[in-house]
Structure 1
């Protein structure tokens, strides 16, 4: 008798159930072997050679005159406020006493009603005449008493009284004379006379207006010359011979308009003195420059106005045996790139700056090795000893990107 577990159909089912996992395992192993095999890849292209390019400039040893530039504002050397010394009604103002108007020394700018002061002068002069009459009478009385006392006609006391009366009359005359002088002075002060040639900044009073004593009437300034306070830093002072004493030679200075850079007008002046203290905030020393005829009334030049910002150029010392590098060729204030003439390789170099301005950086001639050019084109990297291609002077339109891309295209084509 056959058991169910040993029948052929049962054995076939067991084999079928075992065959399916084996088939899956075989397929997985085959796929792994397939994927694990070496994939054939195309060879990588060789890196393209990039050659740096730059323009160059000759390096020359020169004598460089230092020009110190600083900024300042023009100011009047004599600026005053007209103040009334007497009170009264304004009777007259000069046509020269208008804002911006010119006037000359001695011009009457404002006149106060004089009638009260003319009357006061007349009274003072009358009092002086009366005092002189009293003095004359007192002198006559004293002389008479002195003659009578010699003959004992009058007592000595009357003589002393007469002498005292004469002394009192003399004092009254002196007081009356002082009152007359004061009245004349007050009358003179009703006219405000210009103390110098100048211009009017402001007018604070008009005809018919009451001017009190010590009341401001307007503001004026002198126009014979102007002054400019030029701040000079400690570094700049090392290259300037600023006048320190009255007999020191003045230093030339040129002024340009600080607002309109396109204005090519230049005003010549001289530094005549320096202030005795350093500025508390900046520690700068202020040099005082003087510019004659600022409004061009004699020279015909454009006016240099009060309050105008200016750029001052001061002639300084001359640096001997130095190299003047273009500012654009100096990176990070002290980094330059040189090109060896022999093999045209790069040499990055750090230099010590002696002086610098908006256009040039000055270094000692010993700071640059001989036989070098100066690379003036900005480059993305400057490895020491790297070969460089010189850009001809006529090839001014080529940039760094153009030059590197052009060189790469040429290498790819080759």
Structure 2
């Protein structure tokens, strides 16, 4: 039979163990409670800036001379002289002699015409004197004559009219001979570049034969196609507004200033475009960067100025609305007044203000008023939590 000591000792040991276990358990710190963290969608934003924006219109075209002339022979003969500048690509001045037709026949014709004029002039003077004598004679004998009115034949009026007609015809013949002699000189009608020459020294030409073509270098023109809807962005529908042309010269991009001088006033049946015509003064004035005829040029037509507007990437605008972030980092949709869509951008002048945060990243399930965060907002939250832990 177990003694009392044998029973009490194990019970004491068990009691001490349980007590120690309870004490150790009580001394252990309870696990820290985790705060439930709500992660808001992260977005990227850019500030909206309102500034003056000019609604320029882009176009293109081929540079052409305003004036182009075919030189045509008006008299016949052999070419006896050619100017050294009368070659393709040569520059000639107004009044410069480009070619000369043999003038011998026309000089002889002028001498003959002047001789005929001298004869006609002499005959007219004689006839005028005879008519005066007849008039005086009639005054002397009219009192003794039964006829009170002299006949025109007696006063030599028909003879005088005939001599006057011959004199005037001789004058016209001299004028015609001088003009034909002058036409043996082929002159440049204006400052020009020679587009083409079709005759050579010794060639024989007849009236109507072509000498070549000249292009005036005083003014260049370029036809610029513009879509009908684009005309609304131009003052006065594009008439008399500045335009900037750009093209490559010797591998470098060069620009020239010009002006829209007129609209062709009709819509092209094939392209459905309206053509505006720009003019550029002295296209060959700068020999280092001439605006050459036949060059392909891009044009920037100066449009209306909008005082306060913003350019927003077109892919961020849905149904004329954009997503913005307010001061509380909440999603707000702004209704825009879109005045133009251009080059991948939307130009709006109402519905937004400078300094507003435009959301530029995509949202999976956007809802008006939803809470969002940016990189800056996340940094501020992390800094606040770190400070609380240190306390």
TM-based fold match above 0.5:
yes
CA contact (8 A) 1:73 1:308 kept: yes
Change (3 A) 1:323 1:286: same
Aligned to 2:365: 383
CA contact (8 A) 2:48 2:356 kept: no
Q: What runs of 5+ residues in structure 2 fail to find an aligned partner?
A: 1-39, 377-391
Aligned to 1:78: 67
Change (3 A) 1:359 1:302: farther
- How many residues of Structure 1 are paired with residues of Structure 2 in the alignment? 331
1:279 equivalenced with 2:268 (yes/no): yes
1:310 equivalenced with 2:297 (yes/no): yes
CA displacement, residues 31-72 of structure 1 (integer Å, 9 cap, x when unaligned):
xxxxxxxxxxxxxxxxxxxx9876542223333222211112
CA distance in 1, matches of 2:364, 2:64: 51
CA displacement, residues 256-291 of structure 1 (integer Å, 9 cap, x when unaligned):
11x689733111112233333333444433322221
CA contact (8 A) 1:145 1:159 kept: no
Aligned mate of 2:108, from 110, 119, 123: 119
CA displacement, residues 173-220 of structure 1 (integer Å, 9 cap, x when unaligned):
110110000000111111122121111101111111111102221111
| Residue pairs, 1:167-178, within 5 angstroms | 167-178=161-172
CA displacement, residues 68-126 of structure 1 (integer Å, 9 cap, x when unaligned):
11112211111111111111111111112111111111101121111111111111111
1:358 equivalenced with 2:343 (yes/no): yes
Aligned to 1:323: 310
Q: Shift of residue 370 of structure 1?
A: 9.0
Change (3 A) 1:109 1:370: closer
1:217 equivalenced with 2:207 (yes/no): no
CA distance in 2, matches of 1:355, 1:157: 90
- Give 3-state SS (helix, strand or coil) of 1:270's partner: strand
Change (3 A) 1:323 1:262: farther
CA distance in 2, matches of 1:126, 1:199: 42
| Residue pairs, 1:15-414, within 5 angstroms | 55-149=44-138, 150-151=140-141, 159-160=153-154, 162-242=156-236, 250-257=240-247, 263-297=252-286, 302-327=289-314, 329-330=315-316, 342-343=328-329, 353-358=338-343, 360-366=345-351, 372-375=357-360, 382-385=364-367
Q: What runs of 5+ residues in structure 1 fail to find an aligned partner?
A: 1-50, 393-414
TM-score of the superposed pair, with normalisation by structure 1: 0.68
CA displacement, residues 121-140 of structure 1 (integer Å, 9 cap, x when unaligned):
11111111121222233234
CA distance in 2, matches of 1:237, 1:243: 5
CA contact (8 A) 1:242 1:274 kept: no
Q: Shift of residue 243 of structure 1?
A: 7.1
CA distance in 2, matches of 1:124, 1:212: 22
CA contact (8 A) 1:109 1:194 kept: yes
CA distance in 2, matches of 1:179, 1:52: 100
Q: Shift of residue 383 of structure 1?
A: 3.0
Say which is worse superposed, 286-295 or 55-64, in terms of deviation: 55-64
Q: Shift of residue 228 of structure 1?
A: 1.9
Change (3 A) 1:174 1:371: closer
CA distance in 1, matches of 2:317, 2:237: 36
Q: Shift of residue 355 of structure 1?
A: 1.4
**RMSD of Structure 2 on Structure 1 (CA):** 3.8
Change (3 A) 1:244 1:337: closer
Q: Shift of residue 168 of structure 1?
A: 1.1
CA distance in 2, matches of 1:283, 1:193: 42
CA contact (8 A) 2:249 2:289 kept: no
CA distance in 2, matches of 1:223, 1:126: 44
